[in-house]
Amino acid sequence: MKRFIVGICLVLGLGLSFTGSVQAQNAERAVPASAVQIQLSFAPLVKQSAPAVVNIFTRAEVSRSPLGGFGDDLFGSPFSRQTEKVQTALGSGVIVSTDGLVVTNYHVISEGTEVEVVLSDKREFVAEVLFTDSASDLALLQIDPEGDDLPILNLGDSDGVEIGDLVLAIGNPFGVGQTTTMGIVSALARTDVGITEVGSFIQTDASINPGNSGGALVDMNGNLIGINTAIYSQSGSSAGIGFAIPANFVANTLRALENGGGKVVRPWLGITGEDVTRQMANILKLDGNGGFLVNDVYDPSPAFDAGIQTGDVILSLDSAEILSTAEMRYAIASSLVGDTMIAQVYREGDIIDIVLNLTAPPEVPAREETQLTGRHPLQGASVINLSPAVSQELDLPGKWTGVVISEVPSGSIAARQGFRAGDVIRSANREIIETVADLEVTLGEARSRRWSFILDRGGRTVTYRLVY
């Protein structure tokens, strides 16, 4: 852990001075003025940047019968279910500190039990997974260089990027080997693209394909301005629309890791709401389109303490315009616990400024993890009390009370009945479920084989009616 914290400090000390990027931002941008300029090469920039972009291999344990598909059915033990490790994924990553911190995408390593990092000079390292965040699709790995030098990419200031800037995308598409492509920044602050729960992406037309995930988007000064994450394509290949996580969001994640001693805790406001549509804007007599309409305020929370009310419309945070729920969510997620933000709020015809002091989400009530026993459809599942902290941990935005299924073992009664980890149980046999204790009482008092459950699942309401 000590080396991990030192590595983060190296990144934040060296990579976040933004010197190179600020110089680039202040320099005059110009198109090529002659045939000689058009013939200039990106080769020196590639030689500088590419060594810090690595290949990532994951391996996972799988169970197979030595007799193929017949072993389990015909013979059972001892011939069934022998375990072996197989390679399941390949992606890219970026070394961001000489101490061996590697940034990649969560989806690159999510299914693996072992992770291997391979440098362009063929050096191989077994990596330790330090941090994963499915909501933002980020992961942080640690490799041990054992005293050897490692190439690194410094984090640039992605807020200084402009549409039209030239960029290079470096990664390992389709596993063919390290590849560099060139393009421009096509758009900024892309939200609501269906990639992650939290995100505001840099869009580029530099060719990005499967295997590029986790690789580098580099500016013309050799600074890392984004982590290539996804493409928009109906064929699975590059269609000229790729998305990268901004470097500043990566930097804030590293700061949060440092502040949390190896654990990322993102701030919260304690509000739920929705996009302001044009029709809503007309009803509210609000000039312009966009904004975040507050539907509920959790008590206690930073928003409640600051005086945010149901019906308020948040127009901006720290002068950054808020046009949608996705932008609101990203603005908070890219801040740090302890930060102060100024919210511009529209309320009953007036525009007021409200100071928000961002805090960590509380774990109230305690989670009280319980594995359910007894004769009922949820037998074998583990459940916990929801709280703002648990909601953030499980990527359940806005669900701060109730009971959530934390684990459903394979082969259990609950799994066979179709219950899933992440299901929020709202009622059982028409009884409102607010705590684990409520659920245990309801399950224990049932006297019929007929069961009914109402669940929240992935933003949808699901009704289960079972006979068990």
Catalytically annotated residue among 99, 133, 137, 423 = 137
- 8-35: per-residue pLDDT in tens? 555 655 444 434 444 444 456 677 778 7
- pTM value is 0.74
The rounded mean pLDDT for the chain is 84
Which percentage of the chain shows pLDDT scores above 70?
83
Write the class of the CATH domain 370-467.
mainly beta
CATH architecture of the domain with range 1-62+83-264: Beta Barrel (2.40)
Residue 137 annotated as catalytic:
yes
Q: Which sign does the torsion angle of CA 403, 407, 413, 419 carry?
A: positive
Phi and psi angles of residue 139, each rounded to the nearest 5 degrees, phi first: -145, 150
Please tell me the distance from the alpha carbon of residue 237 to that of residue 251, in angstroms, as a whole number. Answer: 29
Q: Which residues contact 149 (CB under 8 A, 6 or more apart)?
A: 98
Catalytically annotated residue among 92, 97, 99, 107 = 107
Q: Which residues contact 326 (CB under 8 A, 6 or more apart)?
A: 191, 192, 199, 200
**What pLDDT score does 9 carry?**
54
- 156-168: per-residue pLDDT in tens? 999 889 999 999 9
Q: Which of 59-73, 188-202, 327-341 has the lowest mean pLDDT?
A: 59-73
1-62+83-264 and 271-357: identical CATH topology: no
Query: Quick check: helix, strand or coil at residue 220?
Result: coil
* Strands 271-275, 292-297: pairing kind: antiparallel
Q: Let me know the angle formed at the C-alpha of 84 by 83 and 86, rounded to the nearest 5 degrees.
A: 140
Phi and psi angles of residue 239, each rounded to the nearest 5 degrees, phi first: -120, 20
Residue written as tokens 């033990």?
77
Answer yes or no: is pLDDT of 349 > 60: yes
Q: Can you give the residue ranges of every domain in the chain?
A: 1-62+83-264, 271-357, 370-467
Catalytically annotated residue among 207, 213, 382, 406 = 213
**Span 406-413, mean pLDDT?**
94
Please tell me the distance from the alpha carbon of residue 344 to that of residue 354, in angstroms, as a whole number. Answer: 6
CA distances from residue 3 to 101, 118, 143, 156, 337 in whole angstroms, order as listed: 10, 20, 10, 23, 23
pLDDT band at 236 (very low <50, low <70, confident <90, very high): low
pLDDT band at 198 (very low <50, low <70, confident <90, very high): low
Q: Does residue 90 contact residue 117 with C-beta atoms inside 8 Å?
A: no
Report the topology of domain 271-357.
Pdz3 Domain (2.30.42)
194 burial via Cβ count (<10 Å: 0-12, 13-18, 19+) = exposed
**Span 273-294, mean pLDDT?**
87
**What pLDDT score does 229 carry?**
87
Answer yes or no: is pLDDT of 189 > 90: no
Structure-block tokens of residue 336: 């740090």
Please tell me the distance from the alpha carbon of residue 411 to that of residue 194, in angstroms, as a whole number. Answer: 32
pLDDT band at 413 (very low <50, low <70, confident <90, very high): very high
Residue 213 annotated as catalytic:
yes
Residue 301 annotated as catalytic:
no
